[in-house]
Amino acid sequence: MSRSTEHTVKAFDGEIVELRGLISEMGGRAEEAISGAMRALTSHDLETAARVVQDDKRIDALEDQVDRLAVQVIALRAPMADDLREVVAALKIAGVVERIGDYAKNIAKRVPEIGSGRQIEAISILPAMARAASSMVHDVLDAFAARDWEAAVEVCERDREVDDFYNSIFRTLVTFMMENPQTISQAAHLLFVAKNLERIGDHATNVAEMVYFAARGTYMAERERGPDGVRS
Amino acid sequence: MSRSTEHTVKAFDGEIVELRGLISEMGGRAEEAISGAMRALTSHDLETAARVVQDDKRIDALEDQVDRLAVQVIALRAPMADDLREVVAALKIAGVVERIGDYAKNIAKRVPEIGSGRQIEAISILPAMARAASSMVHDVLDAFAARDWEAAVEVCERDREVDDFYNSIFRTLVTFMMENPQTISQAAHLLFVAKNLERIGDHATNVAEMVYFAARGTYMAERERGPDGVRS
C-alpha cells in the first residue's frame, strides 16, 4: 500500500468513526427525549415537557452535521461497496432518528392538553410501551455501530410487542371514551401519544432494515422481519 | 472545455434530469395515492383502498432507484456546490415523498374500520383538506423541478390552511364523539386520517425547505416560513 493510499484509508476510517459517533449521540438524545416526554406526561410536568421540545433542535443540528460529513466523505473519498453502503446508511439513519426525536417532541407538546389525566387508566400502560419502543431504538443503533445484522433482525422481531401494546391501548381508550365522554378530548391526545410510540417502533424497524442492508448488501427477507403486525 | 470534460458534464446533466424525472414520478404516484385513499374513504370502496395499499410498493421501489442513482452520481461525478446540493436534495426529497405515500396508504388501510361513516359530518370536510395537502405536494415538486425557491416559500405559507383544517376537524370530531359515543371507534380512525393529511402538509413544507436550500445554499428564514402553525 502506498503512503498516500494508506493516509486516505486512515482518514476514511476516522470519518466513519466520527459518523457513527454522531449517530450514536443522536440516538442517545432521542432516547432521552422519549423518557423525558413520558416523565412529563405521567407527572404532568410542563417544565420538562418544554425542555424536551427545546432540546429537539439539537437533534436536528446533529442531523445536519451527519449530512454534511456523509456527503463530504462520499465526494472526497469515493468509497466503494460496503463502505459506500455504510455512509449512505448513516445519511438515512440520521433522517430516521431525527423523526424519532420529532415523535417524542410531539408527545411533550401534548402534555398541557392532556392535563393530569390520572383518571384515564391507559396512561399507566404508556410508560411500559415507551420503554419497549425506546429500547428498540437503543439496540438498533448499537447494531449499526457494531455492523451486527443479526442484532438488527432481533430488533425487528420486537416490533410485534410494541404493536400489541398499541392495539390494546387503542381499545382501552376507545372503551374509556365511550364510558366517559367528558374525557374524550384528553383521551384523543393519549391516542396520538400511543400512535407516536407505535411509530417509533416502526422507525426502529426501518433502521434495522438499513443496518441489515449496509452490512449484507441484500434486503432483509420478509421471513426474517416477521409478519407485518403494524396496525396502521 | 476539453472533450472529456464536456462529456462528463453532459452525462451529469442527463443524470440530474433522470433524478428529477424519478422524483416527479414518485410525486405523481403519491398524489394519486392521496386521491385514491380519499375516494375509497368517502365512498367506502374497499377495492380502491386495497389498490392504494398495493401500489405503495411502487413508490418504495422508485425511492430505491433514486437512492442508487444519486449515490452513483455523487461517487462517479463528484459534483460540487449547487450540483451536489441538488443531488443530496433529491436523495432526501425521495425519502419524504415515500413517507407521504405511506400516509396515504395508512388512510386507505383505515377504510374497512371506518365503514360508511356517513353519519359523521367531519367526513365531508376531509376531501377538501386532502386537496389542499395534495396540491402542496404537487406544487413543491414542481418547484424542485424548476429550482424555483420563491414557489417553495409560497408552498410553506399554505401549510397554515391545512393546519386550520386539522384543528377544525379535530374539534368537530371530539364534539361528535361526545354526542355519539357509539361512533367513537370510527371517529377515532377519522382523527388519524385528519392527522395523516396534516402530516402530508408538514412533509410538503419540509420538501420546500430542501428545495430552498438546494437552490440558494442557505436555510429558509423563520420569517419566510411563516409562524409555526402546526398543531402537533
Q: Are A90 and A27 in contact (CB under 8 A)?
A: no
Cell digits of residue A27: 440516538
Distance CA A47, CA A64 (A): 27
Q: Hey, of A174, A176, A186, A199, which one would you mutate to test binding to chain B, going by the most B CBs within 10 A of its CB? A: A174
- Residue pair A169/A122 in contact (Cβ under 8 Å)? The answer is yes
Contacts of B105 in chain A (CB under 8 A): 232
Q: What is the value of ipTM here, to two decimals?
A: 0.82
Q: What is the pLDDT of residue A229?
A: 36
The ranges assigned to domains in chain B are 3-225
- List chain A pLDDT tens, one digit each, 232 residues: 455 566 666 778 889 999 999 999 999 999 999 999 999 999 999 999 999 999 999 999 999 999 889 988 887 887 877 888 888 889 889 999 999 999 999 999 999 999 876 778 888 899 999 999 999 999 999 999 999 999 999 999 999 999 999 999 999 999 999 999 988 999 999 999 999 999 999 999 999 999 998 888 888 875 555 444 333 3
DSSP B143-161: HHHTT-HHHHHHHHHTHHH
Q: Considering only CA atoms, which of A69, A211, A99, A196 is closest in space to residue A148?
A: A211
Provide the pLDDT for residue A129: 97
Of B75, B182, B192, the CB nearest to A74: B75
Distance of CA B77 to the CA centre of its chain: 29
What is the count of residue pairs from A and B with beta carbons less than 8 Å apart?
68
SS3 A220: coil
Residue B141 burial (C-beta neighbours within 10 Å; 0-12, 13-18, 19+): buried
Contact B184 A174 (CB under 8 A): yes
Report in angstroms the alpha-carbon separations of B87 from A8, A172, B66, B92.
Answer: 24, 47, 10, 9
Q: What is the pLDDT of residue A222?
A: 59
Rounded CA-CA distance A31/A48 in Å is: 15
According to the model, what pLDDT value does residue B230 have? Answer: 35
The percent of residues above 70 in pLDDT, for chain B, comes to 91
CA atoms within a 13 Å half-sphere pointing along the CA-CB vector of B126: 31
Contact B188 A195 (CB under 8 A): no
Gap between the Cα atoms of B227 and B213, Å rounded: 19
d(CA B181, CA A117): 19
List, for residues A20-33, the tens digit of each pLDDT value.
999 999 999 999 99
Write the CA distances from B232 to A223, B4, B149, B204, integer angstroms.
35, 52, 26, 16
The answer to whether domain A3-225 has CATH 1.20.58.220 is: yes
Spatial separation of the C-alpha atoms in residues A96 and A204, rounded to whole Å: 8
B228: pLDDT strictly greater than 50: no
CB–CB of B78 and A75 under 8 A?
yes
The confidence score (pLDDT) of residue A9 equals 67
Mean per-residue pLDDT over chain B, rounded = 89
C-alpha cell at B172: 368537530
Chain A residue closest in CA terms to B109: A232
